[in-house]
Amino acid sequence: MAGGPMERFVPYIPVVAGMVLLVGVSWEWKARLLIGGISILSLYWGVRWDQKRFSQEAKIRESEKALRLLSLQRHDWMNHIQVFMGYISMGKQERIMPYLKRLTEGLHREREASHIPYPPLALLLSTIQQQVPEWHWQVHLESPDHISSPREGERIRCLISYLLDFIKGQAQQDEPAALRLKLRFEKDSGYLRLEADESVWSRLCFEGEDWDRLQRLLEQEGCQWDLLGNGLAVRFLFNVSRSSG
């Protein structure tokens, strides 16, 4: 859909030709007015064509992203079905109900996340398992209605994305471990906590380039953070200017 450089240039050929004629040839004022008018109209339609193309490309990118998420969700549910079939084949039907209960609790948390007022943040939290499958995620929300503006929602989405970029490279090669992402919002501030069992958290690396980058990003967002024995706690204020550093 993007096309090559020449394809992008085609709508503006009449504009360039008109400018060349106006500059390179001596015309009567009526002819110059006509050529100038045609050039302006060509420029207008060229810009409209570009806007339409960019809009189509954006729709394609969004559709491709949605299809990838749907594919990952199908993969997750196929795994769940295989677990059920395994329990049945081994005669361990008593393990099915606890497994279903965990799935139901996870779906309930996803539904809560989908009701966050800022849709991009809601999408990130409700599909976090598909976007970062290296870990088993549990998302806990408290008072998300305090997110009162798109600016605040986008800031929180960025903070979570920074944490996800850092933590996804920390996953172990064996069975994915559980991580808990807790968010609590108050009138003027919010709290974000990423935590795991101490046996899992103690294996994570909080030094080097990736950790330094995360600290810089949190500092630029005006956050306060504390590295704990089993997690990372981040506090941020609403309606504050970001650091220029």
177-232 per-position pLDDT tens digit: 889 999 998 888 899 999 999 888 988 888 889 999 999 999 998 999 999 989 99
pTM, to two decimals: 0.68
Query: How would you label 17-43 residue by residue, b for 16+ Cβ within 10 Å and e otherwise?
Result: ebeebeeeeeeeeeeeeebeeebeebb
For 96, phi and psi rounded to 5 degrees? -70, -45
Contact 46, 12 (CB under 8 A): yes
What is the mean predicted confidence (pLDDT) over 123-136? 87
Q: Which residue has the higher pLDDT, 86 or 111?
A: 86
Q: Which residue has the higher pLDDT, 226 or 44?
A: 226
What pLDDT is attached to residue 7?
62
Contact 172, 130 (CB under 8 A): no
The first and second tokens of residue 230, run together, are 């089993």
pLDDT of 1 > 70? The answer is: no
pLDDT 10s digits, 17-41? 767 766 666 667 677 677 777 777 7
The first and second tokens of residue 42, run together, are 């060509």
pLDDT of 245 > 70? The answer is: no
